[in-house]
Chains A and B, each alone.
Chain A
Amino acid sequence: MTQLVWNGLFVGSFYALVALGYSMVYGIIKLLNFAHGDLYMLGAFVGFAILGAAGGVSPAMTLPVLLAVLVATMAGTGLAGVALERIAYRPLRHAPRLSLLITAVGASFALEYGMRAGAGADPRVYPVRLDGASFEVLGARVTLQQLVLIGLAVVLMAGLNLLVTRTREGRAMRAIALDPRTSRLMGIDVDAVISRTFFIGSALAGAAGVMAGAYYGKIDFLMGFLIGLKAFTAAVIGGIGNIPGTMLGGLLLGLLESFGTFWLGGEWRDVFAFGVLILFLTVRPTGLLGERVVERV
């Protein structure tokens, strides 16, 4: 039982990390960035490339090296996100919604199969794996690496929350989310803030990618597809556009999946997750913490 809870929270923190980027971008320009999951994949591969270039890593240095790679990767995927927005999304900001969604699908495709063309179709084995002792907490087997990864996720999310709620930048983001036109009139550089939002969201996804690579040990060009869907589900559960809600949604989805897998069997895990998504969208489309919109029939 506690094992299920722990597993759920662990997977859920990954979902939350990826879902945040989804949620931030949606909150600010109301775009479902389909390519977001692929930025996670990109992160895993960028980390892989840096580690490969660095050569071997001595076991004692694993954690510091991994942290350095994490930071470098976040910068890389962050810039990739900015470029994506600049090239594919910004010119279409005032185009019909459908065009933007289709562009996002195209971007996702280009990233996935661009990576396949570059890195090959076969899964790659991550050069660094986090090892660590495991111990029992309340009957659940917890490994040190899990604790480290969860700790990292929590630090990143807490930092993001501070940024959005306490800084000028965060205030500008929230202002644009409410009303881009007025924000512009008030002297906010809307394009720059949107760029930075993409940077932060993509960097978080990239971080999650590296962490997943280091934890699971294998990466491939399609690894972002499923987690993109899951992250969206998490964002919807919590309330898309709402940052604490999205974190909550990620953890909740992790827990639901963990228990769903236990009851139904692993092969039904994804079906169960998407079932939850559809249920939520039907019953409470604004999510748990999403604000109610004015009833407009």
Chain B
Amino acid sequence: MTTTGQPRLLGTDKPPTLVSRLMDNRWAGLAGLLVAVLAPFVIATPYALSVMTSAAIFVMLAAGLNIVVGYCGLLDLGYVAFFAVGAYTAGVLTTRVGLPLLATVPAVLVVTVIAGVVIGAPTLRLRSDYLAIVTLGFGEIIRITANNLDVTGGPSGIYGIPSLTANPVVFYYVTVAVVALAVLGAARLGRSRMGRAWRFIREDEDAAEAMGVHTYKVKLAAYIAGAVWGGLAGVLFAAHLSAISPTSFTFLQSALVLMAVVLGGMGSIPGVVVGAVVISLLPEFLRDLADYRFFLFGVLLIVVMLVRPQGLWPARSKEALK
């Protein structure tokens, strides 16, 4: 395939190389899924499975935050709040009410949507930097509330949340399937009319309004979508660990998810997935650096913004020719 055969391509951009075509291709997604499916055949110790399951859940979080930060350009520093809301809703309903885990999903959807509206509705009218710090405050509010209430088990949290299956391998595959669907869903939303509107807002809010995009409603939609992704990831998290406590939902978690999104490439689905896998697996490979890990993450965040703000695997503005 050469550029000369394409009548409308008169720009100065370089022709696609083999690597860029591979990266842009939908095969990248399938390849990633294949890696996830084959991983247990390489290593399947209980510990490795647990780490991989956690990494998959982290990918889902990153895909959800990417809707808010990457597509819509809204900085959410309390994203873990929705993760907590999902996990606690599932935990409370299974242990206190006795519902099976799957039956909590509709309730989780409802509760996270409500949480998204409650947080988003007052703050999305504000300047974007106010939003960042208010979401940070909300993340703390949720965590402290979980810490203080009896129904959430206070500081010790909730124990004995039933899993979907006793077999960790099966649970890993269930998680991978759910996460793959979530990533695909986020990607499809991103390419749709709504996803384009998100990007218009990110690029220029006034121009988006002038084209008829109700920026407030559309931002709220992004926020709610992010909340739903986070909440569902929370259900997986609760089922995976069978115990949750407020310490799992600190600002540190929100910041790590943000790092995955920024490092990988805001708005780029493959970038965000790779970023999330790297951020969640890196500690396993760099045990010696444990003390410096978060310090390095912070420095990395600055360096990426200064040197390569589009991330390691950026979203392309160039459209594929069909």
Contact = CB atoms under 8 A, between A and B. Distances in A.
The range of chain B's interface size is: 35 or more
Interface stretch (A63-71, A160-168, A242-250, A277-285): A277-285
Contacts of B137: 229, 233, 274, 277-278
B255 interface: yes
Contacts of B133: 32, 34, 229, 232
Contacts of A268: 144, 148
A156 interface: no
Interface string A103-121: 1011111111110110000
Interface stretch (B122-130, B221-229, B278-286): B122-130
B122 A282 contact: yes
Contact of B292 (A34, A105, A117, A271): A117
Interface of B (DSSP majority class): helix
Given A32-B133, A113-B294, A278-B123, A102 B262 contact: yes
B301 interface: yes
A111 B291 contact: no
Contacts of A106: 297-302, 305
A271 B147 CA distance: 11
A105 B77 contact: yes
Contacts of B145: 271
Contacts of B292: 113, 117
A185 interface: no
Given A32-B132, A109-B294, A103 B301 contact: yes
Contacts of A112: 294, 298
A169 interface: no
Given A88-B302, A116-B295, A270 B144 contact: yes
B134 interface: yes
A229 B78 CA distance: 12
B100 interface: no
A91 B298 CA distance: 17
Of the listed residues B132, B137, B262, the one surrounded by the most CB atoms of chain A closer than 10 A to its CB is: B137
Contacts of B309: 95, 99
Interface in B77-116: 77
Contacts of B122: 278, 281-282
Contact of A110 (B251, B295, B305): B295
Contacts of A92: 305-306
Contacts of B255: 105, 109
B136 interface: yes
Contacts of A97: 128-129
Contacts of A103: 301-302, 305-306
14 contacts: A101-B128, A113-B295, A114-B298, A116-B295, A117-B291, A225-B251, A267-B147, A271-B141, A278-B123, A278-B138, A281-B122, A281-B126, A281-B130, A281-B134
The 7 closest A-B pairs by CB, nearest first: A106-B301, A109-B298, A110-B298, A274-B137, A113-B294, A113-B295, A282-B122
Interface of A: 30-32, 34, 87-88, 91-92, 95-103, 105-114, 116-117, 225-226, 229, 232-233, 236, 267-268, 270-271, 274-275, 277-278, 281-282, 285
Given A109-B294, A267-B147, A267-B148, 15 more contacts: A92-B305, A99-B309, A102-B262, A102-B305, A103-B305, A106-B305, A107-B302, A109-B295, A109-B297, A109-B301, A113-B294, A229-B140, A278-B137, A281-B130, A285-B130
